[in-house]
Amino acid sequence: MDPYKYRPASAFNSPFWTTNSGAPVWNNNSSLTVGSRGPILLEDYHLVEKLANFDRERIPERVVHARGASAKGFFEVTHDISNLTCADFLRSPGVQTPVIVRFSTVIHERGSPETLRDPRGFAVKFYTREGNFDLVGNNFPVFFIRDGMKFPDMVHALKPNPKTHIQEDWRIMDFFSHHPESLHMFTFLFDDIGVPADYRHMDGSGVNTYTLISKEGKAHYVKFHWKTTCGVKSLLEEEAVIVGGTNHSHATKDLTDSIAAGNYPEWKLFIQTIDPDYEDRFDFDPLDVTKTWPEDIIPLQPVGRMVLNKNIDNFFAENEQLAFCPSIVVPGIYYSDDKLLQTRIFSYSDTQRHRLGPNYLMLPPNAPKCAHHNNHHEGFMNFMHRDEEVNYFPSRYDPVRHAERFPNPPGVLTGRREKVVIEKENNFKQPGERYRSMDPARQERFIKRMVGALSDPRVTHEVRSIWVSYWSQADKSLGQKLATRLNVKPSM
């Protein structure tokens, strides 16, 4: 018998009950007692093990993106971008790479309705021949803040009141009144697309700016965009109440049912690229996640398509234990100085080590599908079988060597150590442009949602005035309409 063949796959389950250590269990119905009535004996190891495992079935839910649904499929390159990147999985049209995708709501708990107004997470794990690549994003192309220093405070403000555990608008409006950079994100969140009809009918975005590196070492900033072929659909308030009241897991069910029926959802992947040599030509900072890159100036370039054609086998294993980290990249794709991305590089992997343990990358959905080798070993829940005697590097007893060098951006860093805001904030131009791009009925719905949030009784006159001032700077007519309905004057 090969002792390593039978774990951890349940496909090798015994035909009879056993303990975790494999000992046969002849009675899984009754506790070991003194006589037929008891008391129960502590020596009933099977009972203790069964209860102890049950007590520990739940791991800490994610602080954000707790409510999610996953599916598996493939990504196929359709357009040649080998001039921009040496990433192996993008090497030529026709190349296919297995993927697993997790969609999610951001703020609310794991059991919350999927009809709540909230950004949606859109995370894709590519199992490439050079290791995994995690493209972690949202359904909106921008974010509330541009510096990860504010992230814990932002989430605290969006989460329920710590005293009452009720999500309250006054806390949200108060926090973001200090951050006019958030206006652009609110033009998405309070727009109709703030409540997607389901996961199939929404676009996705990598949000952060990454760097593509060619085999010659030339770097380009890049943004990734997923465009659904199912069409973008949303739920208005009345529809969301009906759908959510019928099934609080409607989006998960829709995704599962569609794949089971052979109606495979598909997204097209597009990129936008900027040569770093020309990044100063814009009136915004290209690394600022509160900004979009105008498509009339920086057009979308098609790259490939993603098809989800297989449902997950187990929710816990392939959703709750599925872990994404923006730090996980492959040769040919690298980070940028995007301040939010730089903090996410640390924060996401740190979160997974807390939730799942230091060896979370050994778990099947997170482990690379290519051969890998390092000296990371032992620690909590390490189930890697190893029989090597050398666990250090270098060694004349182990022929392992460095991989072939691949190009990385060689940028020279200059500047003072300082904590400052970026020079080109330009917080109001793009929110105004997006508002003006809406038709009048859509503008009216946006205004109603903003007025509703600012009408919370605990939102002060000062906070309302600040918000009206911000929106007036984005669009004068929008500011006037808000001022009239809220009976305030802008605090310029």
User: Which residues are known catalytic residues?
Assistant: 65, 138
Q: Enter the DSSP assignment of 40.
A: B
- Contact call for residues 184 and 294 (beta carbons, < 8 A): no
Report d(CA 69, CA 150) in Å as an integer.
Answer: 27
Question: Taking the CA of residue 435 as centre, how many other CA atoms within 13 Å lie in the half-sphere pointing to its CB?
Answer: 27
Q: Quote the CA–CA distance of 151 and 59 in Å, as a whole number.
A: 23
**Helix or strand holding residue 227 (H, E):** strand 219-228
Separation between Cα atoms, residue 296 and residue 438, nearest integer Å: 18
Distance from the Cα of residue 205 to its chain's centroid: 10
Distance CA 349, CA 369 (A): 19
Give the bridge partners for 76, in sequence order.
96, 305
Structure tokens at 18: 């056993």
Q: Please check if 348 is assigned to a binding site.
A: yes
Cα separation, 147 vs 21, in Å, equals: 48
No. of helices (H) and no. of strands (E), the chain: 12, 10
Distances (CA, A) of 26 to 17, 18, 198, 238, 419: 7, 8, 47, 56, 66
Residue with tokens 């921009």: 84
CA pair distance 97, 132, nearest whole angstrom: 10
19: left (phi over 0), alpha (psi -120 to 50) or beta: beta
Binding residues for heme are 348
